[in-house]
Amino acid sequence: MTYWGFHLAFILPAIGALLFIYHRIKGPRPPRAALGFGLIAGVALLYTAPWDNYLIVRGVWSYPPDRVSESMRLGRVPLEECGFFVLQPVLTGLCLLCFLRQSGNRDWLRPPPRGWLPRITGGALALLAGGVGGLGLAAGGRWLYLGLILVWSAPPLALHWFYGGNSLWRSRRVLGISLAVATFYLWAADRVAIGLQIWSVSPLHATGWHLLGLPVEEALFFLVTNLLVLQGLLLFFWWFVPPTSDSPL
């Protein structure tokens, strides 16, 4: 199976199924979700592509030439991988929309709660994770990939929580459910892709630890990227869009 085949088999059908489910659910629609999706996908591409280039240069990730379009790359990143940077936020974001609509959650219409504890705690934990990642980078070798994930993801996660931690904590239930569903699905898809050698992780730069048969670094990668997408969308709904409950997707 090629990388394009992976998208056709695992990503696009899941997006189609979630769109179908979303439009079948009766309930309030988050405001201007299409605009939020576009912004999140664009940020994901711009923020992830340079990091991904570095991973490929360092030999952390690799792609067999017969599984990707060698002539179409953004730097060292295959075009199919760039497509993943855009499609993953759509898939993960649709999980959030489905659960928001099912729950009747209208938090985006309410003023953000007061208080500093969730903001400071969440932001500090993200920065702590980034510090642990820095130790991994300094150690190098089998800790390199783990360190790169933590250092790369910590700043935006901390920014989310320092800025909007009260609102994120208020909707922790729908955030947690959406995160679990999207992450478990992408873990399964990633496990299949690695087994089919669509992409691979160098054992020289990974701990060798596995979670449900998946390298722990890959499991962490999808966990933090989904968290970035979900938190970014929730903050968009709450603060950057005029409050309206009937805007179309």
The rounded average pLDDT for each run of 10 residues, N- to C-terminus, in the chain (249 residues) is 94 96 84 88 95 93 85 84 95 94 73 82 97 95 96 97 91 94 97 92 94 93 97 86 46
User: What are the phi and psi torsion angles at 62 (to 5°)?
Assistant: -150, 155
pTM: 0.92
Amino acid at 121: T
Q: How far is CA 177 from the centre of its chain?
A: 14
Residues 6+ apart with CB under 8 A from 218: 187, 190, 194, 201
pLDDT, position 48:
95
DSSP 3-state of 244:
coil
With beta carbons less than 8 A apart as the criterion, state whether 201 and 145 touch: yes
Euclidean distance between CA atoms 5 and 26, whole angstroms: 34
> Under a CB-based contact definition with an 8 Å cutoff, are residues 35 and 75 in contact?
no
* Per-residue buried b or exposed e for 120-154, using 16+ beta carbons within 10 Å of the residue's own CB: eebbeebbebbeebeebeeeeebbbbbbbbbbbbb
Give the pLDDT score at 108: 63
Q: What is the pLDDT of residue 240?
A: 65
**Residue 85's pLDDT is what?**
94
**Nearest one of 162, 138, 146, 171 to 221, comparing CA atoms:** 146
Q: What Rg, from alpha-carbon coordinates, does the chain have? A: 18
Strands (E), the chain: 61-62, 73-74, 77-78, 200-201, 210-211, 214-215
What is residue 210's three-state secondary structure? strand
* C-alpha span between 220 and 214 (Å, rounded): 10
How open is the CA angle 222-45-1, to the nearest 5 degrees? 60
Q: Which residues of 191-201 are buried (b: 16+ CB within 10 A; e: fewer)?
A: bebbeeebbeb
Residue 75: predicted pLDDT: 81
Interacting residues of 175 by C-beta distance below 8 A, sequence separation 6+: 96, 168, 230, 231, 234
